[in-house]
Amino acid sequence: MVVQTEAFIMLSMVLFVLGTLGVLLKRNAILVFMSIELMLNATNLAIAAFAHQWGQVDGHLFVFFIITVAAAEVAVGLALIVAIFRAKRSINIDELHQMEG
Amino acid sequence: MGTLPSLESFNLWAALPGISVAVWACILLVIDLFIPKTRKETTAWLAAGGLVFAFVANLLVYNAEVDSFLGMFRADQFTAFFNIVILITAFVSILLSIDYLKRAGIERGEYYVLMLFSSAGMMFMAGANNLIVVFIALELLSIPLYVLAAFRSPEPRSEEAGIKYFILGAFASAFFVYGAALLYGATGTTNLHEVFEQVGRVIGGETTGMFLTLLGSGLVLVGLGFKVAVVPFHMWTPDVYEGAPTPVTTFMSVGAKAGGFAALLRILAIALPMLVLQDGQTNAAWQNVVVLVTTATLILGNFVAIAQTNIKRMLAYSSIAHAGYISMAVAAAGTAGIGNEAIQAALIYIIAYMFTNLGAFAVAMAIEKDDGSGTNLENFVGLGKSRPLLALMMTVFMLSLAGVPPTAGFLGKLFIFQTTLHAGLEWLAIIGVITSVVSAFYYLRIIVNMYLRDGEGDPAAGATERVNWAVYVAFAGTLLVGILPILVTTLTERVTLVANIVP
Amino acid sequence: MENTGLSLVTVVLFLPMIGFLILLFLREQTQLQTIKYVTLGTSLITFVASLLLWAALDINNPALQMVQRIDWLPQYGISFYVGVDGLSLLLVVLSTFITVIATLASFRTHALEERGRQKLYYLFMLLLEWAMIGVFVVQDMIIFFIFWEITLVPMYFMIGIWGSERRVYAAVKFFLYTMAGSLLMLLAILYVGTAAGTFALPEITAMIQNGTLSFPFDGLFSPQSFLFLGFFIAFAVKVPMWPLHSWLPDAHVQAPTAGSIILAGVLLKMGTYGMLRFCLPMFPEASVAWAPVVGVLAVIGIIYGAWVSYAQTDMKKLVAYSSVSHMGFIVLGIFALNAQGISGSILQMVNHGVSTGGLFLIVGMLYERRHTKEMAAFGGIWTALPVLGGLALLISLSSMGLPGLNGFVGEFTILMGTLGSQSLGFVFALFATTGVILAAVYMLYFYQRVFMGELDKEENRQIEKLHWSEYAALVPLVVAIILIGIQPFIFFQPMDASVGQLVTQMQPFVTSVVQLVP
């Protein structure tokens, strides 16, 4: 059975929307962060499917770059979250309101 | 598979400014290990030296018009112009940082390395001619900035700025990259010039993919909209600008915005000018969206700024408003035939904004206390007496931000309004004008505080020799651009993104 | 037309800047006297230079003279383009003249010593003079706009730093009102300039004359009218015309004496000059079509200003509102669109500058002595200060338009122009005349309350005599008042050719549009 590109795209869109909703709705910084990862991976899926459809390697290249960049983001993001956790003993992003206005 | 391309055909030399900054950042990371903790100033000067080298290199390749890395990177005047803006910004920010870091007790060598990396990212944003490169440059720009914003850790406000910037920045990148993926799906290419051709075919009905193209370009716009902080993607700005260490705020308020607009202009003007909804229409489909966003940005940025009591927050909203003015030119670029003119206007506005904003933040930093407090508007009371020279320069910066001649800010607005009118967007121009008057109100308040109200003037402890020099540079730039605009218009004369490609 | 040498106009324009630079190197603590005299000297030299300008002007030539043009942004058609003609000459002389008076008036101003920062004050004075001359001599719309906006900054600080109690409010209001008006003008300028491909006014006027450039016009709300309004509203705020005048009383009342003198003497004229220089030649049809509307507003301003003046108890407010009334006359004369009306207006601009400047000077002198601007605090000053009383009488009479003095000549010519105008006419002249009568009422009322009557208050009896610098400020004004009154010919002469040319250009439109719009 050959799965159509459309199916991959639909799936990736669903994942992307789920990720977006996660970022908007979750209050735990780790979960927000994971949702962002989900969005990036939805992108990877879409690109891989498109690359297959166009029969090119460009898309696959793009995926590698995204994976690498995501890893870098993880490093920075987790470091920040740890720093916040040390100070506050909490990673609820609603509790971040030092600045008003 | 054909033969591998020769090294010469990569035209590495044309990307030298960006490459040199990135490479120097890597080397500096190592050198920094051998610099004792008490002498981190050396790292700063080494970093600044790298920027100077890149600046000279940039002048040498200023008039180049070549593709590097097999069309992934485009070196032209547009790139070189943005390089100038970014390098000056980075240089001034480093100048501001040296004493600030000492005062705040966070003197670490990585700071300067991160700044260099981020600058390199911005420079590649300007030259990126491929969606993949735009994405990587965007991340290279952003990730160091997340760290820099939180650099004052464990100070809670700084950490909070870092995490907020990080979450929203990563969120925006995800939007951008998903948009890029859809565009790739619709066109089968990530090269902007090829995207342009394919979009033309999609519009002409030769290939399918209209839906993907529209959705993709929309998401790309959202992603970059976050970076340049236009409404409704602006909410991170005030908190991040307030919480981040002031030199970092300075750096990102100009550099990140410039980088974002560079990518935005290149993508919209090169890849998507053909994106029209109906045959025979001359204005790109995204124009109305940009007009809407611009209007909201101008109004919200300027009106909310009135209510601010902290100079950093006020400048944050002001920077949102200025993003609005720049996107007036972006909107104008959507009218057929106006493209190049509008882009030149945007560039002139950006350089004017750069000088002025660098100066304004530098003065704000000068009155900041060691613990990061003292940035309320009230702290400006009496500055005209205690630090006359500093107050005078702040006056000029405020007038420039408000767009009063003969400053750079006026000149920028002049070009922006002209191109907006030329593009047939009269209403947008009128909104721009009205919000300018509103903006004059809150900028004047600083001047009122400095001169017209009596009080014990702030000693401006932060105004050390180096900070003063940074202020002088910004001041000279602000006036020079305003009085002799020919200096910057010559720099943009040959910026012709659109003519290259419009058939 | 290109002039490679240095034109006299450029010299006059940049003379104040030389003084400005000298001041920068003086120290306030030790060289205060020098600062004052350098300012006075600079303004005097500039005044003399502007008189040379008058002497050098060929009065039979209606065109721009002593032109100098340097490219500023050639690719956009913007150039630094200066020159004078009959329309601007008198106003240049007025600016330099009033600056001298204002400088002299500053020497004895209490607020200056109280608030300090006198060097800054004199720097602003010279900056303001530079910008004012710039507004009158520059022929390129963008550069004009730049000078126009620059005038805001020093005036803003003058009011804001050295003004009286509510100075901050007044200064900000002044700045925002004018800026709001002028930014719409900027849009109109950009529109016109983009359409014409150049921002040089003489070239645009020539293009409109020979028909290569025209802005579509078919009634009160057509593109040309919107452009006209863009310019007109900016100027009307500055004049200020009713109902945009509310910044003026605040600014005048709060400003230091010299600030009021310059504001009334020159800055308001920038508005009327702008109408004359930009609105009429660039948008002839719209000007003609809107003339009745403008006329009505002007007449309302004349009567309203006079009426409100009469109701004031504060001397400065009284004079400020009288300005609204007098400026209404000037606008009326301009929109009479004939030679008499326009010449009368230009002369009246000078007259108003001299007379109202004089009135503010007198009010300032009284304020310095008694620290109040309430008329009730005075009375019988004539007995205590006979010389001031005499000079004040003369200035008051001039302001109310007594025959033989300057005000009469201007107002009479304007009224004659209005009567003979195709766009305005008898009714306008009739109502405007009411303004003249009311002017007599409030001016006499003012004079009587302050200078006549019993010298019944102890403080007034021991009032300080006039200082030499005060005489030096007042006497030239009085001389000018009498000179214009008995020899108006000298002043009409240089403007005749240019006004004639403007009217000739307008005439075809007057005839055609007046028939079009009932």
Q: Which region, left, alpha or beta, applies to residue B11 given φ > 0 means left and ψ of -120 to 50 means alpha? A: left
Q: Which of A43, A81, A99 is the closest to B239 by Cβ?
A: A99
In the predicted structure, residue C242 carries a pLDDT above the cut 60: yes
CA C175/CA C155 separation, integer angstroms? 9
Q: Which residues pair with C200 in a beta bridge?
A: C140
Preceding amide of C243 cis, omega within 30? yes
Q: What number of C-beta contacts closer than 8 Å exist between A and B?
A: 126
DSSP state, residue C265: I
Across the interface, whether the CB atoms of C73 and B485 are under 8 A apart is answered yes
The stretch C266-279 carries a mean pLDDT of: 91
**Alpha-carbon distance values, C7 to C54, C67, C148 (Å):** 13, 7, 22
CA C188/CA B362 separation, integer angstroms? 36
Which of B341, B381, B397, B404 is the best mutation test for C, with the most CBs of C within 10 A?
B404
B185 in reach of chain A (CB within 8 A): yes
Whole domain around residue B164: which residue ranges? 22-492
CA B32/CA B432 separation, integer angstroms? 47
Across the interface, whether the CB atoms of B486 and C172 are under 8 A apart is answered no
Q: Which of residues 58-97 of A touch B (CB under 8 A)?
A: 58-59, 61-62, 65-66, 69, 72-73, 76-77, 79-81, 83-84, 86-88, 93, 96
The pairing of strands B73-75 and C65-73 is unpaired
**Chains A+B touching (3+ CB pairs under 8 Å):** yes
Helical axes C201-209 vs C167-196, angle rounded to 10°? 50
Residue B133's pLDDT is 92
Q: Which of residues 9-68 of A touch B (CB under 8 A)?
A: 9, 12, 16, 19, 23, 29, 32-33, 36, 39-40, 42-43, 46-47, 49-51, 53-54, 56, 58-59, 61-62, 65-66
Q: Which of B405, B421, B485 is the closest to C194 by Cβ?
A: B421
Across the interface, whether the CB atoms of A61 and B136 are under 8 A apart is answered no
Residue C222 covered by a domain: yes
pLDDT tier, A46 (very low <50, low <70, confident <90, very high otherwise): very high
Count up the domains in chain B and report the number.
Answer: 1
Interface predicted TM-score (ipTM) over 0.90 = yes
DSSP state, residue B377: G
Q: Where are the alpha helices (DSSP H) in C311-423?
A: 315-334, 339-370, 381-384, 386-400, 406-419
How far away is chain B from the Cα of C169, in angstroms, using its nearest Cα?
Answer: 10
Mean pLDDT, chain A, integer: 87
**Cα dihedral B450, B453, B457, B463 in deg (nearest 10):** -10
How far away is chain A from the Cα of B58, in angstroms, using its nearest Cα?
Answer: 27
Residue C1 covered by a domain: no
Residues of B in contact with C190 (CB under 8 A): 414, 417-418, 421
Nearest residue of chain C to residue B398 (CA atoms): C153
Nearest residue of chain B to residue C77 (CA atoms): B486
Nearest residue of chain B to residue C180 (CA atoms): B437
CA C444/CA C442 separation, integer angstroms? 5
Spatial CB neighbours of C316, under 8 Å, sequence gap ≥ 6? C252, C253, C260, C360, C363, C367, C373
Nearest residue of chain B to residue C230 (CA atoms): B430
Complete DSSP assignment for B396-415:
HHHHHHHT-TTSHHHHHHHH
Whole domain around residue C286: which residue ranges? 8-516
Q: Which of A66, A77, A87 is the closest to B156 by Cβ?
A: A87
The length of chain B in residues reads: 503
Mean pLDDT, chain C, integer: 87
Tokens standing for B161?
Answer: 């700025």
Nearest residue of chain A to residue B143 (CA atoms): A73
Across the interface, whether the CB atoms of C184 and B433 are under 8 A apart is answered yes
Across the interface, whether the CB atoms of A56 and B166 are under 8 A apart is answered no
Could you state, in order of their start, the residue ranges of all structural domains in chain A? 5-90
Residue B1 covered by a domain: no
Across the interface, whether the CB atoms of B184 and A62 are under 8 A apart is answered yes
B190 in reach of chain A (CB within 8 A): yes
Residues of C in contact with B436 (CB under 8 A): 179, 183
Residue B460 covered by a domain: yes
How far away is chain B from the Cα of C432, in angstroms, using its nearest Cα?
Answer: 35
On whether the CB atoms of residues C254 and C360 are closer than 8 A, the answer is no
Across the interface, whether the CB atoms of C176 and B441 are under 8 A apart is answered yes
The stretch C493-515 carries a mean pLDDT of: 82
Across the interface, whether the CB atoms of B433 and C191 are under 8 A apart is answered no
Q: Output phi, psi for C65, to 5 deg.
A: -130, 165
Instruction: Give the best-scoring range by mean pLDDT among A82-96, B271-285, B291-305, C422-436.
Output: B291-305
Spatial CB neighbours of C384, under 8 Å, sequence gap ≥ 6? C455, C460, C461, C463
Across the interface, whether the CB atoms of C161 and B451 are under 8 A apart is answered yes
Name the strand (E) or helix (H) holding A22: helix A5-25
Count up the domains in chain C and report the number.
Answer: 1
Residue C137's pLDDT is 92
- A5-90: CATH topology is Helix Hairpins (1.10.287)
pLDDT tier, A63 (very low <50, low <70, confident <90, very high otherwise): very high
Residue A100's pLDDT is 58
How far away is chain B from the Cα of C139, in angstroms, using its nearest Cα?
Answer: 17
How far away is chain B from the Cα of A1, in angstroms, using its nearest Cα?
Answer: 22
C10-56, pLDDT tens digit by residue? 888 899 999 999 988 888 888 888 888 899 999 999 999 999 888 88
Residue B2's pLDDT is 61
Residue B2 covered by a domain: no
Q: Which of B384, B422, B433 is the closest to C183 by Cβ?
A: B433
C350-393, pLDDT tens digit by residue? 999 999 999 999 888 888 888 888 888 887 788 888 888 888 88
Which of C187, C191, C192 is the best mutation test for B, with the most CBs of B within 10 A?
C187
Tokens standing for B428?
Answer: 């947008």
How far away is chain A from the Cα of B140, in angstroms, using its nearest Cα?
Answer: 9
Nearest to B380 by CA among B368, B372, B370: B368
| Sequence letter at residue C331 | V
- pLDDT tens series, chain B, 503 aa: 567 777 777 788 888 999 999 999 999 999 999 988 888 889 999 999 999 999 999 998 888 888 888 888 888 888 999 999 999 999 999 999 999 998 888 888 899 999 999 999 999 999 898 999 999 999 999 999 999 999 988 888 888 899 999 999 999 999 999 999 999 988 888 888 888 888 888 877 777 778 888 899 899 999 999 989 898 888 889 999 999 999 999 999 999 999 999 999 888 888 887 666 555 666 777 888 899 999 999 999 999 999 999 999 999 999 999 999 999 999 998 887 788 888 899 999 999 999 999 999 999 999 888 887 888 888 888 888 888 889 999 999 999 999 888 899 999 999 999 999 988 888 999 999 999 999 998 999 899 888 888 777 777 777 888 999 999 999 999 999 988 888 888 888 777 765 444 43
Across the interface, whether the CB atoms of C75 and B489 are under 8 A apart is answered yes
In the predicted structure, residue C462 carries a pLDDT above the cut 80: no
Q: How many other C-beta atoms are found inside a 10 Å radius of the C-beta of residue C59? A: 15
Q: What number of C-beta contacts closer than 8 Å exist between B and C?
A: 81
Residue B11 covered by a domain: no
How far away is chain C from the Cα of B452, in angstroms, using its nearest Cα?
Answer: 5
Residue B497 covered by a domain: no
Residue C4's pLDDT is 58
How far away is chain B from the Cα of C43, in angstroms, using its nearest Cα?
Answer: 23
Residues of C in contact with B426 (CB under 8 A): 187
Across the interface, whether the CB atoms of B139 and A73 are under 8 A apart is answered yes
Residue C232 covered by a domain: yes
Residues of B in contact with C184 (CB under 8 A): 430, 433
